[in-house]
């Protein structure tokens, strides 16, 4: 039933965690695949698996590091779906724009800063001196309609 394995894993915990980190870092899938997190026995939760969130949790456990804010590049990647939605609906130059190292969401004449943060963090831990719309990265991966509603409510 795994009890024997658990005591063996305890003896090899550093190797196990290092190998897990290596697997999560080296994979290039969007959220999870059979190379990193998926297998037959967890198929009922495949839609909930996210290697990036897993890596964040693992690094917090291993090193005590929790990167609250994502890089501008990572934020832009996460906001790409929102940019496409805005462009489809507006038909003009509206969308997600970058100015002076800050991202903004522009719809018609309304424009607000936006920040994508690690879903492992509480929104209150994010530096938000410009009153940006705050979106957890995981929300943009699994609940785009909710993220879109948050943006529209902030801009209207």
Tens digits of residue pLDDT in 104-120? 999 988 999 999 998 88
Question: Among all chains, which residue has been given the structure tokens 């949790």?
Answer: 57
pLDDT at 10 (0 to 100)? 84
Q: Name residue 136's beta-bridge partners.
A: 117
Burial 24-51 (b: 16+ CB within 10 A, else e): beebeeebbeeebbbeeeeeeeeeebbb
In the chain, % of residues over pLDDT 90: 60
Distance CA 68, CA 121 (A): 6
The Cα-based distances of 31 to 38, 53, 62, 116 in angstroms read 10, 9, 21, 17
pLDDT at residue number 30: 83
Q: What are phi and psi of 105, to 5 degrees?
A: -110, 125
Please state the rounded mean pLDDT for residues 86-92.
85
């Amino acid at each position: 039933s795994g009890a024997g394995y658990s005591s063996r894993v305890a003896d090899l915990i550093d190797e196990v965690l290092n190998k897990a980190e290596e697997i999560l870092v080296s994979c290039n899938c969007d959220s999870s695949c059979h190379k990193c997190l998926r297998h037959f026995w967890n198929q009922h939760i495949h839609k909930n698996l996210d290697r990036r969130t897993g890596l964040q949790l693992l690094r917090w456990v291993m090193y005590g590091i929790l990167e609250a804010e994502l890089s501008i590049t990572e934020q832009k990647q996460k906001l790409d779906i929102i940019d496409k939605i805005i462009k489809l609906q507006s038909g003009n130059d509206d969308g997600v724009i970058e100015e002076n190292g800050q991202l903004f969401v522009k719809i018609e004449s309304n424009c607000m800063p936006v920040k994508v943060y690690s879903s492992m963090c509480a929104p209150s831990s994010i530096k938000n001196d410009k009153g940006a719309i705050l979106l957890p990265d995981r929300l943009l991966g699994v609940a785009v309609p909710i993220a879109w509603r948050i943006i529209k409510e902030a801009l209207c």
